[in-house]
Amino acid sequence: MGPSEYHEALWRELPKGLEPAAFGPRLAFLLDSVRPGQRVLDVGCGEGAFAAELVRAGAEVLGLDVAEEPLRRARAAHPGLELRLLASETRWELEDCSFDLVWAGEVIEHVADTAGWFSELRRVMRSGGALVLSTPAVGRRELLAAAVSRRAFAARFDPRADHLRFYSAASLRALLEDVGFEQIAISRRRSSPGLLLCRAVRSRF
């Protein structure tokens, strides 16, 4: 089974219309960074919930996903959204320097080629553009819980899950610095302590 078939199968198993996890806190965090008129790329847009809210906030949005099933659902739920299938994870069919902001909500933990993914992400961002992302947190609290509870360990590191990477605030910061981002701010909110919420700026070189 190739990557596209794998992702299609995952989506077919999910009920339609599920609200994304921690939708409220993540949306509030995202909208704090968006200004009307900005060109925004929603990477891993799923059924389009965040993309639709970005449009309501006055942004010009392109939703991108690796599977056609969520895009079909997004078109049905949010007619008029600009959506595109990411046919290749190695080369995105998007113009250089074409987005002011990239939103990647719960995406990087699924990426196999992290360096290649960030290379494409930087390529399509304008110099000084913003990256806003969220990803599950794996810090001291989560590691301690996994160390003392077999059930917590199995839930966090289930080999059947589709999470390929695990990030702490420190490892996420180091990665973003390595791939050319600056002004990195990473936080955890009381309402969603299991999430890392991050803003960063694409360096201008």
pLDDT tens sequence across 145-182 = 655 667 765 666 666 566 688 899 999 999 999 999 99
Q: Return the exposure string of 6-38: e unless at least 16 CB atoms fall within 10 Å of the residue's CB, then b.
A: ebbeebeeeeeeeeeebeebbbebbbeebeeeb
SS3 195: strand
Q: Give the chain's domains with CATH numbers.
A: 3-202 (3.40.50.150)
Is residue 137 within 8 A of residue 169, CB to CB? The reply is yes
- If we measure between CA atoms, which residue out of 103, 7, 93, 109 comes closest to residue 51? 103
Q: Looking only at Cα atoms, what is the longest distance across the chain?
A: 49
Phi, psi values for residue 79, rounded to 5°: -55, 140
Average pLDDT over residues 179-192: 91
pLDDT tens sequence across 12-54 = 999 999 999 999 999 999 999 999 999 999 999 999 999 999 9
Average pLDDT over residues 61-67: 97
SS3 64: strand
**Strands 192-202, 181-189: pairing kind:** antiparallel
Which distant-in-sequence residues (6+ apart) come within 8 Å of 117 by Cβ? 89, 108, 111
Whether residue 1 is predicted with pLDDT greater than 60 in this model: the reply is no
**What is the model's pLDDT at position 204?**
81
Whether residue 139 is predicted with pLDDT greater than 80 in this model: the reply is no
Whether residue 205 is predicted with pLDDT greater than 80 in this model: the reply is no
State in Å, rounded, how far the first CA of the chain is from the last one: 39
